Chain A
């Protein structure tokens, strides 16, 4: 019984860490402009729209965050092998991972922008100076929380995987959660505020992203101001729920039916969420959407 109570406590703590990690990850990727919305940022100069948005061409968020978290977890693991204090080891691991992340950010921006010289897009060096530290700070929070969560799983819950492998798996999950949940707020909404709400992005508007702000010219920090309020919490809830429910079903139902209890519970959870998603979609269409009323509205 005490074991289960401890397990539930660890589950709650890991869920809380994951929520913070998810929010920080999505804010970081929106300020740095990573993932699928970045394709529009790259397209803009080719369509004649010179902009001052960060262009973090690394890879999709899941592999990138898999890499940062596995670096953090791997360095932390190596330092714990030579008897460093776990808290210090995790902090040092996250610091080194953030260093690598920052260097990748700057080289991604410089490389892509320099390769767009044909379209007269200049390199704005102040963007690197002002935005890279912001993305690194958010990234540090995300990596530290994820590695700390993995450490809790490995030591307190006795997960059979080694710490670096847990970091890899949960880092990819973190990137996927942020990419799937948070990016629509940035890519579909914030970049295209000049288009009709809910209209999608017509081909003719490709690359015509919003480049001017309330005052002056929009930088990626203005995007961060928007996505911190909407996309970050949504991603945080998404990743927090994933971690919490995953650990919850394992801690409570693992002993039932020699392990099958947790698997059955997982399938039940998937079915419940499929039902909720479908219900929200239908409700949203009926309440807000122009769908189904007229055909010509979607020209």
Chain B
């Protein structure tokens, strides 16, 4: 398992990519706090931008990890990132305004533990395993936090588990003078929330697919970094579009529509770019042409 192969050389160095990814992810998540400052929810889409930055960096991490002979393990790498990230993200949101930073630190610790177990106890012996799984857990956690903030407009725990309020009316016992009075209590309703309604499962899978897809789709001898990263942005915007549609359940009409518009514009642009890059890298670009035989026994 230690034979390194077929990762394209050149392009942007991985560490530069990581720094851009972390900074944009954290800043983007914090920008959704403008919702609270200004009182209108139109800034929610910054959460989606944060998630795309994390996915963009994460797809390059997967490339580094999976170039150690893990061809069929690429989709599983996406799942393990979000499995460890989900724990860190849900625990991290309990910390109020510090949530994005705490989520990042918790995810890094969790990833390090998982990486250590995989590398030293299960003996997978991949040199970049511990750092890669740390990065992946952070990517998973920051993507989920970003999309959750985009969907609900907040990155605080209470906003993610309480869907709304219902009024509970009970006849008050022992009312004086026989008058009919009621004891009104406000009960939080959990089933309509992001976590209570399991909408977080959608974000989990949207992110996990978007994280593993770029390198899984582009791997091969002629893989190139700019095409893989453009695909990461494309699937990121595609996931952001679905999250934006779901945010109609939590945000007002204008804010959710802003999210849908931005994600569709971004997706269209990046998809066009990706097709152009594929055309550049492909051996040939044929429309309704027959097979050109190069070998084999036909």
Interface residues of A (CB under 8 A from B): 39, 47-52, 57-60, 63-64, 66-67, 70-71, 73-75, 77-79, 81-82, 96, 100, 103-104, 107-108, 110-126, 161-165, 168, 208, 211-212, 217
Contacts and interface: CB of A to CB of B under 8 A. Distances in A.
Contacts of B79: 63
Contact of B235 (A64, A104, A163): A104
A126 B275 CA distance: 14
A123 B286 contact: yes
A170 to B, nearest CB: 12
A72 to B, nearest CB: 9
Contacts of B163: 81
Closest 9 CB pairs of A and B: A115-B220, A48-B295, A74-B202, A111-B217, A122-B284, A59-B75, A165-B198, A78-B249, A162-B198
B281 A114 contact: yes
B177 interface: no
Interface in B266-298: 271, 274-275, 278-279, 281-298
Given A67-B209, A71-B242, A123-B285, A165 B201 contact: yes
24 contacts: A39-B72, A50-B294, A59-B213, A71-B242, A75-B242, A77-B197, A77-B198, A104-B235, A110-B282, A111-B278, A112-B218, A115-B220, A115-B222, A117-B283, A119-B221, A122-B285, A124-B288, A124-B289, A125-B287, A126-B286, A162-B199, A164-B198, A164-B202, A165-B198
Given A71-B242, A120-B294, A123-B284, A66 B197 contact: no
Contacts of A57: 216-217
Contacts of A123: 278-279, 282-286
Nearest to B289: A124
Contacts of B249: 77-79, 81-82
Contacts of A104: 209, 213, 235, 238
Contacts of A124: 286-289
Interface residues of B, number: 64
Contacts of A126: 286-288
A116 B213 contact: no
A231 to B, nearest CB: 22
B81 interface: no
B283 A120 contact: yes
Given A104-B235, A107-B213, A211-B291, A115 B223 contact: yes
Contact of A114 (B202, B222, B242): B222
A82 B248 contact: yes
Contacts of B197: 77, 81, 162-164
A140 B191 CA distance: 28
Contacts of B63: none
Contact of A164 (B199, B288, B290): B199
A83 to B, nearest CB: 10
A107 B294 contact: no
B202 A217 contact: no
Contacts of A116: 220-222, 283
Nearest to A109: B217
A63 B220 contact: no
A60 B201 contact: no
Given A49-B296, A67-B206, A107-B213, A114 B288 contact: no
Given A49-B298, A110-B217, A122-B282, 6 more contacts: A39-B72, A59-B212, A67-B209, A100-B238, A114-B227, A123-B286
Contacts of A74: 199, 201-202, 242, 246
B231 A121 contact: no
A78 B200 CA distance: 12
Contacts of B206: 67, 71
Nearest to B191: A162
A73 to B, nearest CB: 8
A208 B298 CA distance: 10
B248 A208 contact: no
B127 interface: no
Contacts of A115: 218-223, 281
